[in-house]
Structure 1
Amino acid sequence: MSQALPRLTLKNMHVMIDRKPHPIVNLNIQDVLIGGMPDWMAVGQRVEFSFVITLKEWERSLPTYGVVTKNDSSGCDVRYTPPTPSWRNILMKLVTEEARSSGKK
């Protein structure tokens, strides 16, 4: 069995499902734990959503889809398809930006 990838939390990203924003509890390159999801979302169900990245005066929506792997009181875990081939680079840049901005306080 492969080791689970580390998960991160980003303040400048959330997901949109059916035009409703949902917080990201944590994520990695292949899984995202989404808060506030309906309890009827079943394991194995396909879900279409967008990652929404919000920076100072800029917002970008990146549509993708995935499959629910867990849905309980901690959130809805979705194994997703990266929305763009450069997704890993985007996540690393966001982590770096967030670390830089939190260090300025």
Structure 2
Amino acid sequence: MTDPPPMGPVDPPPPPELRGSRRLGIILGVVYVAVVVSVNLFTPVLQTTGGMLLLVPLVVLVVAAVVLVAIPRTAGLGSGLLLGFGIALLVGAGVCVALVAGLNR
């Protein structure tokens, strides 16, 4: 009698694919942050509220994105929103630093 061939290492199952469009989430996140910041910069409401109205929509975006990431069906969209939020913060901070540095010359 012959013995069956030895079993090799078992390949792990592939990771599940993210559903939802990550690109769409990135675009929506960047546009949302840009609109919120620009509306708050160019309206007199910012001066009367001390800038607190700027934080509320951004916190809502982060909370909504975290909820979307927790749901497998919309995880791609939620991760895209978080990436878009981070990209918008980095680009916005860079523009702000460049403007402030340019004013000091």
> TM > 0.5 between the two?
no
Structure having the higher strand fraction is: 1
TM superposition score category, shorter chain reference:
under 0.3
Q: Provide the TM-score with structure 2 as the length reference.
A: 0.22
Query: Which structure is larger by alpha-carbon Rg, 1 or 2?
Result: 2
Structure having the higher helix fraction is: 2
